[in-house]
Chain A
Amino acid sequence: MTSTKFDPRILKAPHPVPGAPDNWKRFFSFNTDAKVIGIQYIATSLLFLLVGGLLAMIVRGELITPPADLVDPTVYNGLYTMHGTVMLFLFLFPVLNGLNNLLIPTMIGAPDMAFPRLNAAAFWLVPVFAVLLMGSFFLPGGPAQAGWWSYPPISIQNPMGLFFNGEQLWLLAVALSGISSIFGAINFVTTIVRMRAPGMGFFKMPLYCWTAWGAQIIQLIGLPALTGGAIMLLFDLSFGTSFFRPEGGGDPVLYQHFFWFYSHPAVYVMVLPVFGIFSEVFTCYARKPLFGYKFVALASFGIVFLSLIVWVHHMFYTGTPNWMRILFMFTTMTIAVPTGVKVFAWVATLWGGKLRLTTPMLFCLGGLINFIFAGITGVMLGTVPIDIHVGNTYFVVAHFHYVIFNAIVLGVFAAVYHWFPKFTGHMYYEGLGKLHFALTFIGCTLNWLPLHWAGLLGMPRRVASYDPEFAIWNVIASIGAFMLGVAAIPFILNMVSSWARGPQSPPNPWGAIGLEWLLPSPPPAENFEDDVPTVINNPYGYGLGEPQVADEEYYIRRAQEA
């Protein structure tokens, strides 16, 4: 059902900072405006992308030579643990929540999120757990060193015997991150279900909203398991319980179920919105409707359902009984089908289009071919006998970086460029954007393609040193990693200079279809306020000559005059 009867408290929400929305101080306040929160999320997360990237470059610096000669192995273990943690909990989840905040209300014509205060609370938990995580670097024993899985018993060994230790802060941070994400998920799901513009049935909703909706449902189902597991582990670590402690009769493998029940679907929490971004960007820059809109939309929920029943494929060699391995192999393989439906639909969308290779289009094309590659190695990993050989080797590291960086992060960059003019009111510099793409694409390929071979040859992941036969792959990978560090320079330059002095953006610089492009750039605080357009057609009517909303000319004119 759709509704325009918004709670008047949303429309009449007082601005906490005088002069908002023009006052820069609003970005440092407990602001309830989704567009401010979105930018808060994105700016914070990009800062932590730099932190996580710096940690990664020290890790790759250590791995450029076989022996452990750059840092002590304990420091190496702490650095890779924090690299993974920062990238997931302080970069990817926040940046996607930032995009959700910017895109969901504007795409469905809502004035704000359903629960603006909860939304702000969710964001302000991020700096809280960021301080906990960063603070753990300064504890006497250093930060957590057990990897982002934090498997017991290694994670609860607590070598110094201190009550406050890196692992404890890590677990608290993860639990807080879980709470923040649950706040966010409640908000996003409610907003999408209850606050769509009149006429916008589910099958007239943009795909970004479909995929974000699916992703946030996974958060609601999965996060309680991870957060619960983290709290039990915290009790084992700090209060002497033995949920997972074998000496006390606990089962360390039980934790792995709690962990992966969420953390496998978590990959889909991250990749689904990027599927949405692909659908928005490919249609816009290929100037064609999305091929098989309904199939692509429904495939999102196929993925949501299947993602919840595949987690044991992370545990094929932990002593899992054979029937269970076979069962989870079949569910894992099935997930290739709805994903394939999406991939084929994007390729068919490109076919016969009028392609414009702007920066966001390049990032999405690069992301798509990398994602196809990652999907193929994913099927390999899903088959039990292959996983028994390459599981926990660099093949897995290469596979998930192909998913998480080479596909998801490229998609995130595409989104940042594509919607940058809309939410800042300024155009970005195309030349710098293309340089950023070229460095990123070459860097990420050099970084992760060679590591597949290191893994096939049997190089375990998480090692601080390795046998010399793996050296060549690691040298190439490290060069790629440093290149990715260099790629940050044109990106930062572009973002800062474009926002400060880029040319003014018109409401719809790309000729894109979607409610957000009917708003001025940047949109006013309450988007369409109480003059919300009525949706009459599908969201990707490129070339069909059908207006998306009734009275489209009026809204276009209104946005231009604003």
Chain B
Amino acid sequence: MTTTTNNKSPNVGAIVIIAVAVALNLVLAVLMARWSYSWFPPQASSAAPYVDDLFALETGIGSFLWFGLTGVIGWTLLFNRAPKYDESYGEPIEGNNRLEITWTVIPTVIVFAIAIYSMQVNDKLDALGPKQKYALGTDPATVAAVDPRATVGPIDVIARQWSWEFIYPDGVRSSELHLPINQRVNFRLISEDVNHSFYVPAFRLKQDIIPGSVISYSLTPTREGRFRLRDAMFSGAYFSQNQTDVIVESDEAYSSWLKATAKQPLQPGLSPGSDLYAKRLANGDKGWATVPPAPAPLVNDPGDASIPHDA
């Protein structure tokens, strides 16, 4: 049986060990938080730095908790093991109200602080505009996008099973999304078949596209390059192929691209699903049921899927 020692004088050794452990854990947490920035694609929109900072904060707090608790559990595994054939009990402590209050109040404060900070970050992202319903089958162009602060757009983003089409305000159509750098651009997100999602990891932004609604969405690209746009809401057989690139370029490059493209005739754009479906039919239509892909959109600039993306 263990005996309870009622030692009133503070145990200096224990305090030193705890202080060293907490200090080590803090260092570890800060290192993890700094390391977390390297887990993301490059920051290519005005939203990205805010998201990465919030994530680093959460990684730091989370690491401190996880290493701390795992450390305590590891300590018990090392020093609180019962010897073989020892059938005795540990010290029968049934609880401690002060501790219970501490570990209720402190986590409450932490999660509310994180939530308030997240709320501020969310205001900074400022991407989501109104979602307006319209009757599917009628022309969604009658639904106006609303973002007075956007200097570019509205660009219509039309997601299909399985292709992307982008229509610029002057009527130019493309399969890859071209954007000028450092300007707030507004999109009208449209789907005529199933749910899709407009997701550009380098922008840290994602918005589902819901058939029967036009969603107004805005963002500001901040880095030139070719970034992957991925459909992130499962959309059927060739869902994983429903990706294209976003090309962020200088203002001049963007306007000369618009001008040159406007002169191009309409031609079938990128439609990776169609190619795979054609292959499937050629191989005897094996596999489980799927709807046929929508016809490739007719665009002025079909883009080039063979160019590697930056992120």
Contact = CB atoms under 8 A, between A and B. Distances in A.
Nearest to B76: A350
B7 interface: no
Nearest to B236: A154
B146 interface: no
Contacts of B197: 317, 392, 460
B81 interface: yes
Contact of B287 (A72, A385, A392): A72
A75 B212 contact: no
Interface stretch (B14-22, B61-69, B151-159): B61-69
B contact patch SS: mixed
B39 A249 contact: no
Contacts, number: 308
B90 interface: yes
A142 B288 contact: yes
B232 A353 contact: no
B58 A77 contact: no
A337 B58 contact: no
Interface in B94-142: 94-96, 99-100, 103-104, 107-108, 111-112, 114-115, 118-119, 121-122, 125, 127-128, 131, 133, 135-137
A17 interface: no
A470 to B, nearest CB: 11
B234 A146 contact: yes
B207 interface: yes
Interface string B264-280: 00000000000010001
A246 B121 contact: no
A543 B290 contact: no
Interface residues of B, number: 97
A95 interface: no
B168 interface: no
Contacts of A541: 92
A351 B58 contact: no
Interface in B192-215: 193-195, 197, 199, 201-202, 204-208, 210-213, 215
Interface string A319-340: 1011001100110011011001
Contact of B288 (A78, A293, A379, A463): A78
- Nearest first, the 9 A-B pairs at minimum CB distance are A458-B201, A142-B288, A543-B89, A141-B289, A246-B212, A72-B287, A463-B240, A376-B62, A543-B92
Given A337-B104, A344-B103, 9 more contacts: A72-B287, A73-B241, A77-B237, A319-B210, A351-B76, A353-B80, A380-B62, A384-B118, A392-B233
Interface of A: 68, 71-75, 77-78, 140-143, 145-147, 151, 153-154, 157, 159-160, 165-166, 246-247, 249, 251-253, 286-295, 317-319, 321-322, 325-326, 329-330, 333-334, 336-337, 340-341, 343-345, 347-348, 350-357, 365, 368-369, 372-373, 376-377, 379-380, 383-386, 388-389, 391-393, 453, 456-458, 460-467, 511, 538, 541-544
26 contacts: A68-B240, A143-B288, A145-B289, A157-B194, A292-B100, A317-B207, A319-B128, A329-B118, A337-B104, A341-B100, A347-B73, A348-B96, A352-B90, A353-B76, A355-B80, A355-B81, A372-B66, A372-B69, A383-B58, A385-B122, A388-B125, A456-B39, A460-B197, A465-B240, A541-B92, A543-B90
Interface of B: 1, 39-41, 47, 50-51, 54-55, 58-59, 62, 65-66, 69-70, 72-73, 76-77, 80-82, 86-96, 99-100, 103-104, 107-108, 111-112, 114-115, 118-119, 121-122, 125, 127-128, 131, 133, 135-137, 193-195, 197, 199, 201-202, 204-208, 210-213, 215, 228, 230-241, 243, 276, 280, 286-291, 309, 311
